[in-house]
Amino acid sequence: MTSSRWSDLERPPLNAGALRKAVVTPEAVWTSLEVVEATGSTNSDLSAQAARGAPEGAVLVAEEQTSGRGRLERRWSAPARSGLFFSVLLRPGEAVATADGIRGPVPGHRWGWLPLLAGVATATALSRAAGVDTALKWPNDLLVTVDGEERKAGGILAERVGESAVVVGIGVNVSLRAEELPVPTATSLALAGAPGTDRDPLLRAVLRSLADWYDAWRAEGGDPAASRLQQTYAAGCATLGRQVRAELPGGRELSGTAVAVDGDGRLVIAGAHGEQPVGAGDVVHLRPVRPTEGE
């Protein structure tokens, strides 16, 4: 028998028909769901569809993503069917009809909450559906604990398309094995001891959670406090209360204690020069300094 990249019986393909039936319903935000065998980047593909006028609610899922993009244009890939690799098209800049009337567009200055919203939705869904406690590292990493160490199991990338649309890409390592990890700080739900690694129910859970949070956020005009997004993000954010180092654009660094996420979704760091908000950059969780012997 000739083996292929699709012959791993421990990694069955997604059931596209069942997924569509479960999440594409008249009352749901999701209007279409497509599963492709392989692509370079679901975000790039869906952004092109958005530019051509695709409606809000399109979902594009790849069984294999060969040139996935993270923040700061980092590239990554994973074995076929080893995770959830998908993007969704949202149009917060457009008015939408609801049962209660017309809901206006969300002001552009609040769109920065969308990757954080996706983080909350994904973390809460995975904690329930996969049975693994999932935390958030500001701004867009999904963390699980393996052997007492926080490790990255997924990430989120939101990209604006035109004047009204945002494409949100989500990647989660589900069944990645130790020898397949791209870096030592990465992990998967399976390596974290998840009792449930069937990707179909995991994807359904994430999409439903994402739809619920997006609807609540839109209903409040994107207000993170009124929609309880800001409070929920803070409650699940492993960065808050930690000593951190923020590596900022231009080669600058800021160190101190992460004390809050402000109304614009920025991380507030209290350091030697007071409290400063950080809107972009890499944040490193610093380990506490252990006292030396005799102290």
Mean pLDDT (the chain, rounded): 91
pLDDT over 90 (residue 104): yes
What's the pLDDT band for 99 if we cut at 50, 70, 90?
confident
**For the packed helices 114-129 and 199-219, what is the interaxial angle rounded to 10 degrees?**
140
Q: What is the pTM of this model?
A: 0.92
Phi-psi region of 178 (alpha: psi -120 to 50; beta: other; left: phi over 0): alpha
Angle between helices 199-219 and 229-236 (to 10 degrees): 140
Q: What are phi and psi of 5, to 5 degrees?
A: -65, -15
Confidence of residue 74 (pLDDT cuts 50, 70, 90): low
Confidence label for 65 from pLDDT (cuts 50, 70 and 90): very high
Q: Percent of the chain at pLDDT above 90? A: 82
Q: Specify the pLDDT at position 75.
A: 56
Q: Is the pLDDT of residue 5 over 80?
A: no
Give the pLDDT score at 70.
Answer: 53
Q: What is the structure's pLDDT at 108?
A: 96
Task: Give 117-139 pLDDT, tens digit per residue.
Answer: 999 999 999 999 999 999 999 99
Tokens representing 28? 């749901």
% of the chain with per-residue pLDDT over 70? 91
What pLDDT score was predicted for residue 288?
A: 62
Q: Which domains are assigned to the chain?
A: 16-236 (3.30.930.10), 243-285 (2.30.30)
What's the pLDDT at 8? 65
What would the DSSP string read from start to end of 214-232?
Answer: HHHHHHTTT-TTTTTHHHH
Contact 156, 140 (CB under 8 A): yes
Give residue 3's pLDDT band: very low, low, confident or very high (50, 70, 90).
Answer: very low
